[in-house]
Amino acid sequence: MKVRINDSYEELSEAAAEFVINHIAYKPNSVLGLAAGGTPLLLYKLLGDACKEGRVDFSRVRTFNLDEYIGLPADHPQSYRYFMQKNLFDHINIRDENIMSPDGMADDIALECGRYRAAIEAVGGIDLMILGIGPNAHIGFNEPGNCFVPDTHVVELSEATRQANARFFTKPEEPPHWAISVGVREIMFSQNILLLASGAGKTQALWQAVRGDITPEAPASILRLHRNVLLLADHAAAARLGDKEDE
């Protein structure tokens, strides 16, 4: 795992944007895995700006959203499909048919998980997976537990995750209890992983991921076993890591 500590969230986001832009320049038909949430917001804005400036071309890029709430339609303002549309897809030249996301309204959620897993496999897996990290060290909606769940699956969201996401909803009790998430094996089979961490609320989780035991109780810790991970963190998130880089 390569560690890069940045002075600010803005600097972190700029470094992430340049990394993604360079990746797409190297492989114009890249398959990207995309995380929602607060941390990648500025990254997505910068990618939209770069696309309008002609610095990056998404016309051949395919994307897979990392997760989705069960029970929210794609056009619901709090669905992750809507989040990505509003914050990224509306601002880049990506083709609609190249955008993939789990269907939280599917009649058969187990069948939908299998369909999504098969869709990822059909394109040869993810070239670049963009991840955030939850306060409890979850990645995607892979929550702490007694085992790593390998494939796209249904997950019951922890109370910590629901509380962290409550800011996106009108009422704190509104975040759904269940979601679909890409599994750990699908994440680990990605060719490259870009992990973003910002803010003091991620300090403990990031320490667990980088310094703690590799355990499903801190799902992000498994990323240390991947051959090509770049962690971009700001000083607040990396406070317990010290100044050392390039783990």
Q: How far is CA 167 from the centre of its chain?
A: 18
Annotated catalytic residue, options 127, 138, 165, 186: 138
Annotated catalytic residue, options 23, 65, 67, 142: 67
- Indicate the SS3 state at residue 35: coil
Nearest Cα neighbor of 175 from 76, 65, 100 is: 76
End-to-end CA gap in the chain = 6
Active site residue 67: yes
Can you tell me the distance from the alpha carbon of 211 to that of 9, in angstroms, rounded to the nearest whole number?
A: 22
φ and ψ at 113, to 5 degrees?
-60, -45
Active site residue 108: no
HSE-up of 242 (CA within 13 Å, CB side)?
6
φ and ψ at 24, to 5 degrees?
-70, -35
Annotated catalytic residue, options 112, 127, 143, 234: 143
Query: H or E stretch including 12?
Result: helix 9-26
Neighbouring C-beta atoms of residue 183, cutoff 10 Å:
21
φ and ψ at 103, to 5 degrees?
-95, 105
Annotated catalytic residue, options 87, 136, 165, 192: 136
Active site residue 143: yes
Q: What is the DSSP string of 173-199?
A: T-S-SEEEE--HHHHHTSSEEEEEE-S
Just list the catalytic residues: 67, 136, 138, 143
